[in-house]
Chains A and B, each alone.
Chain A
Amino acid sequence: MTEITPAFENQVLDILAEVCESDEVKNEPDIRLFEEGLMDSFATIALLVEVGERMGIDVPISDFNRNQWATPNMIIQQLADRK
């Protein structure tokens, strides 16, 4: 597993909070984003576009899997692994 710095974590959470239109993701990093209705197919694409533009991490949409990108913590880890 790649080491995750607090700055990296905060940057991902900031983007996630914007995409989900909710700060809940910052307070509850294990919340199931799709099951709770915080993310949908549109938000998924918006997230990948934002992390590409703001963090320089390009994730092909074909790599996205809702089971592996289900919570804020899982998303942080997935992105850290691709840094």
Chain B
Amino acid sequence: MLNILRQIERWADQTPDQVCYVWRQERLTYGELKQKSDALSCWIDEVFGSDRAPILIHGHMHPNMIVLFLACIKSGHAYIPVDLSVPADRISMILEDSATQLVFSERPMLFPECTQKVVGFDQLNNMIAKYPNQRVSDDRAVNGEDVLYIIYTSGSTGRPKGVQIPHESLESFVSWMNQDFGLENRQTFMNQAPYSFDLSVMSLYPSLTMGGTLWAIDKDMIAQPAELVESLKKSDINIWVSTPSFAEICLMLPSFSQEILPDLHTFLFCGETLPVQVAENLQNHFPNAAIVNTYGPTESTVAVTSIQIKKDMLVNHLALPVGRCKSDCRILILDSDGHSVPEGEKGEIVICGPSVGKGYLNDPEKTNAAFGKVDGQRSYHTKDLGSLRNGLLYYHGRMDRQIKIHGFRMELEEIEHVLSSCSYVKQAAVLPIKKGETYDHLLGVVVAGTHSFEKSYQLSSAIRKEMSRYLPSYMLPRKFVYHASLPMTTNGKVDRKALLKEAVR
């Protein structure tokens, strides 16, 4: 097993001037990463030495993000990455839930009433200067079963839940990636996923432990395709890590091909089903690159199965398999009584082994419902429907109302809860609408309360604005329809099937 920090720091000793992170004009070397994270870990030790609460790191693609992640790990604290796109009220819930005492933020002005200590990125250089050339021992560092990071995901009760990933789970994941994916030292990884999305871990730690360079693509580049193409042209990316949705967007750029990315040899996908069409298009545009599909929920450290997609699979399969399980873990397919189903039959995917994290922070009820032990190993009931054939896992959708749109995971109950709590809303339902085989957007069905808007679009706009205080933009319904009442089933529940039928008519 590798120790994450030691593996990263050996590059600081061997090649301190090697660039480990590129974001726009900013460059960070392995030497700087070590020196800055050492100094900041000393500051954290001095000011928060007795406190073991997780530390919230708020920002987007700035290199200080990874400096702070390592500083937290070195000082024995788990970190919570929170992207700039997360609304302030949602961050407040995370602060409350996690009992965090310390926040580092790229935009500290967003925390005016925060009772926790908030340190802006503009203060970091002064703090680093106070601890020059500090050698930090790894006695206090996060290790073994200690929680290394906590990622907040959508929660069905209207509050996000914090998934705790210990050092040993990340170690197991990174060992698997580095050994089984044909990755070599000093490669350039694309770093596109925001850090609050665990797909980012798939590029971050494999790259840093193998002396690679992370090439960060930020959300403003994605919004302006010309900028995105310019950045990709300059990047020399070898390993592409993204959701299939992001690749799908790039495939619509006429110049997206081996010509602008001549050294790209591997596409790694995670976060959602890889459509056959996307895999085929990629093979046409990048005939020399391998396409690897992976599967895994945040609760079991990014991914636990993988498969290289070959041409014959695209011809023979309607739905692509999500792969074989990593060797130190097991996949079980269980029926509703908890018994294994026969080969090829559908059931709940249960993941067992060191990849499985330590449950939800400060939420024993939800943890006990989803996490357990099988043969002495941690296990996680995914509520994903799957089947196994010859050791290959196939994914068949969800057993509950959690969905993914363009790779973003969300609980429809949470969105419904927020929508129903809005002013002007008496009752509401949220429906996911498909385009082809995949979910494309959300529809809000609303029974409106008293309001003074003349037009329904004005009401929709007001509701959307209110929702955006609590939910990130990818969780907002694109469209609202208004009903006098919602149809009910005989059990007294909202009849979503009837609403959906009407919506797609």
Residues on A close to B: CB < 8 A?
Answer: 20-24, 27-28, 31, 34, 36-38, 40-42, 45, 49, 60-66
Contacts and interface: CB of A to CB of B under 8 A. Distances in A.
A22 B226 contact: no
Contacts of A49: 252
Question: Which of A28, A45, A61 has the largest number of chain B CB atoms within 10 A?
Answer: A61
A50 B271 CA distance: 28
A41 B217 CA distance: 15
B223 A66 contact: yes
B225 A64 contact: yes
Given A27-B455, A28-B457, A45-B249, A62 B226 contact: yes
28 contacts: A20-B478, A21-B433, A21-B441, A21-B443, A21-B479, A22-B460, A22-B478, A28-B458, A28-B461, A31-B457, A37-B477, A40-B474, A41-B222, A41-B223, A42-B249, A42-B440, A49-B252, A61-B225, A61-B252, A61-B254, A62-B225, A62-B226, A62-B229, A62-B253, A64-B226, A65-B226, A66-B223, A66-B224
Contacts of A22: 457, 460, 478-479
B74 interface: no
Contacts of B255: 62
Contacts of A41: 222-223, 249
A20 to B, nearest CB: 7
A45 B246 CA distance: 12
Interface in B454-485: 455, 457-458, 460-461, 464, 468, 473-474, 476-479
Given A24-B461, A41-B249, 20 more contacts: A21-B433, A21-B441, A22-B478, A23-B457, A24-B457, A24-B460, A27-B455, A27-B457, A28-B457, A34-B223, A40-B406, A42-B440, A45-B252, A61-B252, A61-B253, A64-B226, A65-B224, A65-B226, A66-B223, A66-B224
A49 B458 CA distance: 29
B496 to A, nearest CB: 18
Interface in B154-198: none
A27 B461 CA distance: 12
Contacts of B477: 37
A52 B225 CA distance: 17
A37 B457 contact: no
A74 B348 CA distance: 49
Nearest to B219: A41
B27 to A, nearest CB: 26
Nearest to A60: B254
A15 B443 CA distance: 19
Contacts of A34: 223
Given A21-B433, A61-B253, A62-B253, A31 B461 contact: yes
A76 to B, nearest CB: 17
Give me the 6 closest cross-chain CB pairs, A-B, nearest first: A24-B457, A62-B226, A37-B476, A22-B479, A45-B252, A61-B225
Contacts of B474: 40
Contact of B461 (A36, A45, A66): A36
Nearest to A23: B457
Contacts of A24: 457, 460-461
